[in-house]
Amino acid sequence: MTVEQTLPAPASAACCTPLTAEPLDLAEAQDFARILKALADPTRLRLVSLVAAHEGNEACACDLIDPVGLGQPTVSHHLKILVDASVLHREKRGIWSYYSLAADTLERIAAFLSPA
Amino acid sequence: MTVEQTLPAPASAACCTPLTAEPLDLAEAQDFARILKALADPTRLRLVSLVAAHEGNEACACDLIDPVGLGQPTVSHHLKILVDASVLHREKRGIWSYYSLAADTLERIAAFLSPA
């Protein structure tokens, strides 16, 4: 029987060091996890960084296929996941889709990850 | 036959808008993806936010079990994933482990996600 197993831990005595800020509630945590899951892939991170590296933080799909070294259907699939998670915005112009950073989403995540 | 399918895309003509910054290379992208994968879970995000909310950005394991509403083995499992991904540091003192934020890791991710 270890001390950890026998910890009585009534809710009122759970914290022995004071909380100085508000931790994430479950709904916020689920929302951030959904966005981070979309980002947690090397190809998708490279696509986001390629969009960010283009003038005006916007790139045509035609700019993104060659640099990641994958076929157009695979790149489209990854871009869709990023759009669905509100990491990128998509705008159709003529025959091509243009992708831009969803700055508000990325700022929320960056602000959460910036240590106090 | 669509225009996208017939895109010739020689490497030299791949980009129609200029790159203004350096995109992530594959090794960096794999490293970031590994860290983001560890973060991309609601319970682990709440654990990180609980550590961040404690005085000195450090919390005893005993502070973390009750707030997330899960058993001690499950919380330990999630904490191990965060330590393995260098999101949290662990220090053993007496019978408890103390967890602190790995500020350098979180800053690198936040800097990448901060739109230009």
All domains of chain A in start order, with CATH? 27-111 (1.10.10.10)
AA identity, residue A84: D
pLDDT digits (tens, 9 = 90+) for B31-64: 999 999 999 999 999 999 999 999 888 999 999 9
Flag if B22 and A53 touch (Cβ within 8 Å): yes
The pair phi, psi for residue B106, each rounded to 5°, is -65, -35
* ipTM rounded to 2 decimals: 0.80
Helix ranges (DSSP H) in A24-71: 26-39, 42-53, 61-68
Q: Give the strands of the sheet with A58-60, arranged side by side.
A: A58-60, A96-101, A88-93
Which residues in chain A have their CB less than 8 angstroms from residue B22's CB?
53
Q: Does A55 touch chain B (CB under 8 A)?
A: yes
pLDDT of residue B5: 40
- Residue B74, chain A, CB below 8 Å: the answer is no
Whether residue A17 contacts residue B54, with contact meaning beta carbons closer than 8 Å, is answered with: yes
Put simply, whether B100 touches A (Cβ < 8 Å) is no
Find the distance separating the first CA and the last CA of chain B, reported in whole Å. 38
Q: Show the tokens assigned to A90.
A: 């998509």
List of chain B residues whose C-beta atoms are within 8 Å of the C-beta of residue A106: 113-115
Render pLDDT for A59-99 as a digit per residue (tens, 0 to 9).
999 999 999 999 999 999 999 999 999 999 999 999 999 99
